[in-house]
Each structure stands twice: as C-alpha cells, then as structure tokens.
Amino acid sequence: MKANQNVIKGHWLEMKGEIQKAWGRLTDDELEQTKGDMKAVGGLIQQKYGKAEDKTERILSEIYQRFEETKDKSISALKDKLRD
C-alpha cells in the first residue's frame, strides 16, 4: 500500500484508533513505535495475529482510504469557500 505520509501524520491518532478497533491486541505503545509506517503496522499485525499479508494490507488500505477521502473532501470544501 502506497500511503501519503501527510495524511497519516495528520490523522495518526484517529487511524491508530481504527487499527486498534480492528486488531484489539495491539497496544498504543506498539503502534507508536511504528511511527505511522504502514508497512511496520502490517508487520506488527502479522506478528501478533499471524494474519495473511494480503488480508492485513487490504484492511489497512480500507482504513487509510477513509482518511484519504476525508482529506480530499476537506480540501475541496476549502477551495469552494475560497472561490465564494
């Protein structure tokens, strides 16, 4: 998964919460150690849960995509306001 680091940095706390909802055994400290690196998060999930890489990556991509779409909508709304 190719992730925009600005999106991850801007939404890391929220994303971390979503990741913990999906994989409850991950601790806040473990996720913080990944520094938002989605490959590292995927590795951590595989290590703790033994999940297949493709399934883990798919779920992480879905979580990331929700925040990417939110960012895109926010930018679009801001541009619309500036045009008015």
- Which tens digit of pLDDT belongs to each residue from 38-52? 889 999 999 888 877
Q: The whole model's pTM is what?
A: 0.70
Number of structural domains in the chain: 1
Please tell me the distance from the alpha carbon of residue 25 to that of residue 16, in angstroms, as a whole number.
12
Q: Residues 43, 55: contact at Cβ < 8 Å? A: no
User: Which pLDDT score, from 0 to 100, does residue 12 have?
Assistant: 86
Whether pLDDT at 31 is above 90: yes
User: Which pLDDT score, from 0 to 100, does residue 49 have?
Assistant: 87
Domain CATH for 78: 1.10.1470
Cα R_g (the chain), whole angstroms: 14
Q: Is residue 39 part of a domain?
A: yes
Q: Which domain holds residue 79?
A: 13-83
pLDDT digits (tens, 9 = 90+) for 42-82: 999 998 888 777 888 888 888 888 877 776 666 666 666 66
Whether pLDDT at 26 is above 70: yes
